Amino acid sequence: DILSGASIPNGTHPWSLSYGGHQFGSWAGQLGDGRAISLGQVQHPITRAFTEIQLKGAGMTPYSRFADGYAVLRSSIREYLCAEAMHALGVPTSRSLSIVAIPSRKVTRENGDEMGAVVCRLAPSWIRFGSFELLYSRSEFDLMKELADYVIDTHCTDLNTVVQDEITVESLQTNKYIQWFKQVVKNTAEMIAHWQSVGFCHGVMNTDNFSILGITIDYGPFQFMDVYDPTYVCNHSDETGRYAFCEQPRIALWNLARLASVLDPLILPPTCNDHINNSETESRAKQSVTTVLIDAVREFIPCFDTTFSLLMSRKFGLLTTANHDLDTLYQPILRLMHDSKVDYTHFFRIVSEMDLFDRTNETMDKVLDRLYNISTLSKSEWHANPTSTQSNDMSKSIVQRFNDWVQVYRTRMLCDYSSEDALFADTEQRRLRMLMANPKYTLRNHLVAKVIQEMEHDVTSDAVDRYLNVLMRPFDQGSDKEQAEFGGTVPDNMRGLKCSCSS
């Protein structure tokens, strides 16, 4: 009853959050938890870290506006599975505790009545960028400072800060709110780098969907890319491509800039916030705060680059990172993957399993065969019309570019070893490292759709548990049955399957 929202634990006082946000680049005003209800917090007995327990889809809240506060089974299954899949991949994320299907609850959406469900989800906090934006828009600066102090005291206890007698660019470096915001920038950059490394598209990167702690929240029309396409848009409601895969780092930076633009009241004295007859000293203080906040936002790019480079180096089995790796190693192979329409997850897994440094050509031929047996290009052009001049020219070009890249890869790999013999001697260990960095399984939209269909037909089905069991072990090879059911090629008619924000 508790996990379905039918009853609440004795002695608890559930709450919902009020927040605003920029949606698709425009200020949307108050939004709030329209169907999320927090039951309470628990604290780890050793680490003292907090976990907030929240129900999504249990009914109306004070912020539901004209909505019913419910969630459909379809979207609930997607969020339940994806949060756990992301955690297993090492991506900063909220977690899923349970999902309860409610067959008796018919939830009306644009396609008619659907079965209702409630997800119980976990996070250290559900406070968002938009939580601060809303308070700023209302000039509720005292509440804003109280909220910031709560976040810092509860979740950022290791900040090294001092109290300043005056506000200058130099003194602000140890201001607790500046230090906290820098941590928000760092956490957000690391989260986005993880997204890009695993091929995850969020779909709705509004500021109300961005956690102040830098964890992935609010799984809606997300997708793990099938065929690699940097311009891919997973949300069919995103007509301009604002939240395309390649745009995610830029949008995260934009969101951080929006957050930075409302933080002045945390740092400046109250007299500076009325914008009337500020003294010269107050004007200098405001300029100093603006300068430091802008500098903090700019730290996003180097932090993202550093984290992304580290994650990609692991995917390629490198022992070190180098400044030129992005331009000389990663970008060329990503462009080749795009041009040859290779599955993103499959590519890295296949490269992990094959010895690219065998002194014979047999291994290389096997790599190419495996890569392009699962590529759209090979299936639709090479195999369908093997005598086509265009197809043959394309295949020769792809093979040549891949071989050229392997030579660059081999040369770069040698930089991590004392000799070529040492490189070859480490082949098996390198293979194992790569297999632990490149998943066999990621959540696929067409497979989730199949799970949803099974559950809508029979809520007692074990379809969710079967898929969850695989997603929680993404780096394991899995049984033959699991590989056949969850690890195969995405069907042509299901590739790039998109979802909307409807839930």
Residues acting as catalytic residues? 208
What span, in angstroms and rounded, lies between the C-alpha atoms of 455 and 464?
Answer: 8
Q: 331 near 409, Cβ under 8 Å?
A: no
Q: 315 near 304, Cβ under 8 Å?
A: no
Residue 25's SS3 state is coil
Calculate the CA 189 to chain-centre distance.
11
What span, in angstroms and rounded, lies between the C-alpha atoms of 469 and 467?
Answer: 5
- The pairs formed by 246-252 with CB atoms below 8 angstroms and a separation of 24 or more are 248/192, 248/195, 248/196, 248/201, 248/202, 248/205, 249/192, 249/196, 249/304, 251/205, 252/188, 252/189, 252/191, 252/192, 252/205, 252/210, 252/300, 252/304
What span, in angstroms and rounded, lies between the C-alpha atoms of 99 and 34?
Answer: 18
Q: 286 near 278, Cβ under 8 Å?
A: yes
Q: Provide CB contacts within 8 A for 17, sequence distance 6+.
A: 32, 33, 36, 38, 63, 126, 127, 128, 131
Length of the chain: 503
Q: How many other β-carbons are positioned within 10 Å of the β-carbon of residue 237?
A: 16
Return the percent helix, strand and coil in the chain, to nearest 5: 50, 15, 35
Strands (E), 186-291: 200-201, 223-224
Give the orientation angle of helix 176-198 with respect to helix 248-260, to 10 degrees: 170
Q: Quote the radius of gyration of the chain (alpha carbons, Å).
A: 25
- Residue at token pair 């930075």: 260
DSSP assignment of 336-401: HHHHHT-BHHHHHHHHHHS-TT-SSSHHHHHHHHHHHHSSHHIIIIITT-TT-HHHHHHHHHHHHH
What span, in angstroms and rounded, lies between the C-alpha atoms of 5 and 7?
Answer: 5
What span, in angstroms and rounded, lies between the C-alpha atoms of 470 and 442?
Answer: 9
